[in-house]
Amino acid sequence: MKIQAAVAWKAGAPLAIEELDLDEPRDDEILVRVEAVGVCHTDESARLGKLPVVYPIVLGHEGAGVVERAGQDVTSVKPGDRVLFTPDYCGRCRYCRLGYTPYCEQVIAVTFTGTRPDGSPRAHHDGNPVRASFFGQSSFATRALVTERNVVPVPADAPLSYLAGLTCGVQTGAGAILNAMPAGPGRSVAVVGTGAVGLSAVMAAVAQGADEVVAIDRVPHRLALAASLGATQAIDTSGRELADVTAEVVKVTGGGADTILDTTGNPQVIEAAVDALATHGTASVITSSGAPVTIAPGALLLRGRSLRGVMGGHVNPTVFIPRLLDLHRRGKFPFDRLVRNYPFTEVNRAIADSLSGATIKPVLVL
């Protein structure tokens, strides 16, 4: 069938909206009419060629829409159902079977090659293959093919125009706090960087009932937003030495934060985060970009501290997204306040606004 899709023809080129031929759904596939799709920094990294993608490829990995058709093996959704797409995974490896799908052993192939597991491309342009399984979805498009592995059903009246923004960066920030790190009553949490990931972590820490939630950034309007979302302290780092910021975190948390989430990937910031931890505290990283981090073993050992990685929200999104939706319904996770909508045709502007920080979470509507 004919679809409109934003194609990355080669590394660095702006996305171009083209007419493509999308395959008919196979027995295990679901055809979804895309209504909204979030924009994430990973789309930009893929567009620039910083990730192992193969061009031409349709990007987009936070899609949401209405099921139009389902292959005969599909049992969990039917035409008319509304769904959010999640990052795909293999479903068979050890980590998928344990429920830790963000750590899937096949993650590179499933996420970036842009083909089905058998190597077929899902879409064509003038008879030539176009990769259309980025994150198992390629949802910068009017229609997309997905599988039961990477859809989460939502209620018929679910507002997809902002819910589409829930499934990657928001889930990453919230999942780090809710699934992987101690953050409840009696704890202090610090979040470094208040973009979509960081602000989601702030909301999650507030929802968990952390005593102190410290937001750290150099952009005043983001810090103001963090405070309005429940952060108890907002630390502006602009023009300050890292050691000075570390000392302030230690002071406002009464001796160091129990939990610190770094969203910057900056090695000096990660080193400072470890220094700002309480005894038995844990610092986490959520991005693989950035230069090596240097930490003296004693900085960890003598205080019983940990530094760890937390990927993609840490658990299977089909389990975790409903939990976030429930928190949102109860007013405890107002992530819609981060979202700004753009028409699909303005995909390049939405990406640029995300990078510049003008918009925290762009969501395209189709």
307 lies in the site for Zn ion, by CB under 5 A: no
338 lies in the site for Zn ion, by CB under 5 A: no
104 lies in the site for Zn ion, by CB under 5 A: yes
Site for Zn ion in 235-274 (CB under 5 A): none
Nearer to Zn ion, 58 or 96 (CB): 96
Contact pick of 42, 167, 237, 359 for Zn ion (by CB under 5 A): 42
Nearer to Zn ion, 91 or 129 (CB): 91
Pairing of strands 57-58, 16-22: unpaired
Nearer to Zn ion, 61 or 305 (CB): 61
Helix (H, G, I), strand (E, B) or coil at 212: strand
- In the bound complex, what is the minimum distance in angstroms from residue 146's beta carbon to Zn ion? 16
> What is the C-alpha separation between 77 and 153, in angstroms, rounded?
7
Nearer to Zn ion, 172 or 246 (CB): 172
Question: How many CB atoms are located within 10 Å of the residue 179 CB?
Answer: 18
- In the bound complex, what is the minimum distance in angstroms from residue 39's beta carbon to Zn ion? 9
66 lies in the site for Zn ion, by CB under 5 A: no
Long-range contacts of 263-270 (CB under 8 A, 24+ apart): 263/173, 263/191, 263/192, 263/193, 263/195, 263/197, 263/198, 263/201, 263/287, 264/192, 264/193, 264/290, 265/289, 265/290, 266/290, 267/291, 267/292, 267/293, 267/294, 268/242, 269/192, 269/242, 270/307
> What is the C-alpha separation between 227 and 34, in angstroms, rounded?
34
> What is the C-alpha separation between 19 and 4, in angstroms, rounded?
5
90 lies in the site for Zn ion, by CB under 5 A: yes
59 lies in the site for Zn ion, by CB under 5 A: no
Contact pick of 3, 53, 70, 168 for Zn ion (by CB under 5 A): 168
What's the number of CA atoms in the CB half-sphere (13 Å) around residue 233?
23
- In the bound complex, what is the minimum distance in angstroms from residue 30's beta carbon to Zn ion? 19
User: Binding string, 211-230, against Zn ion, x = CB under 5 A?
Assistant: --------------------
Three-class SS string for 288-357? CCCCCCCCCHHHHHCCCCEEEECCCCCCCHHHHHHHHHHHHHCCCCCHHHHEEEEEHHHHHHHHHHHHHC
- Stretch touching Zn ion by CB under 5 A, among 4-12, 100-108, 248-256, 303-311: 100-108
Nearer to Zn ion, 66 or 90 (CB): 90
96 lies in the site for Zn ion, by CB under 5 A: yes
93 lies in the site for Zn ion, by CB under 5 A: yes
170 lies in the site for Zn ion, by CB under 5 A: no
Nearer to Zn ion, 214 or 338 (CB): 338
Please count the residues of this chain forming the interface with Zn ion, following the rule CB under 5 A.
8
Contact pick of 3, 22, 40, 57 for Zn ion (by CB under 5 A): 40
- In the bound complex, what is the minimum distance in angstroms from residue 307's beta carbon to Zn ion? 23
Angle, helix 220-228 to helix 196-208, in steps of 10 degrees: 30
> What is the C-alpha separation between 223 and 183, in angstroms, rounded?
20
- In the bound complex, what is the minimum distance in angstroms from residue 333's beta carbon to Zn ion? 18
| Binding site residues, Zn ion, CB under 5 A | 40, 42, 89-90, 93, 96, 104, 168
